[in-house]
Structure 1
Amino acid sequence: MSASIPPSRRADQFVARFPDGLREQLAAVAKVNGRSMNAEIVARLQGSFDLITSLPLMVQDAVEDAAAAKGCTPEVALADLVLAGQASGGIVLNIRIAPGMTIKEVHDLMGAMMDKVPDAALVVVERE
């Protein structure tokens, strides 16, 4: 009989209590995103864990190092790093190189930007 039960019904379940109005907000956003309420909740929860992995690798490494040093979660370490950067007036310039860009185009782009970026800024370059 359990073979006829779909896998989604055999998955772990958790009952949650929502504050007033949250259920309606979730239902509206789920409808816009074309998902069930359950899929919307799962996507949003998963996204909160994926936040760190969507950052540039250099930043991910800094977050992991800070989390290990402080014995805290990556999210707390990221918040600490951002606040520390803001307090010291830090500037981070994240440049993403589009597929198909030539080395000359990248060089010209970097040259044009470096005149406008303070010397103390951290420049992170990534390929898309």
Structure 2
Amino acid sequence: MSKLVAAPSVSTEVSEIIEQLKTRGIHIPSLESVSTFLTAHPELARLLIPTVEIAQNRLPKAELSLEHYTDPEIEDEYLALYARYADYNEDILQRLDHAREACEALGQGVSDLLFITTDFKPPYGI
């Protein structure tokens, strides 16, 4: 007789994803805010690991920081995966575009909830 195994709760799944992101070296300065956003958007949570893999492959020298962004002027919020470099060069915007394009193939709506970008700040480690 087989046992029924309960599906993990969304918050448990989000916690596991957050731990995987940390293991991959992703900086998450506001853990509670990111976790809350991911719990509200489980479809995005499930696509985060593949998105980060693409970003790490396309932006290999970047420090990646996952941050919750709320627009103060309009009712809009999303996660930003910031790529930060010690030295920025001319092709950074093109590389970001390529990473975003590759991530869009993962699923519809991802680009509405997660934006891969840079703020031209130095990495946290510097």
Shorter-chain TM-score above 0.5? no
Whichever structure has more helix as a proportion of its residues is 1
Q: Which has the higher contact order (CA 8 A, sep 6+)?
A: 2
Higher percent of residues as strand: 2
Structure number with larger C-alpha Rg: 1
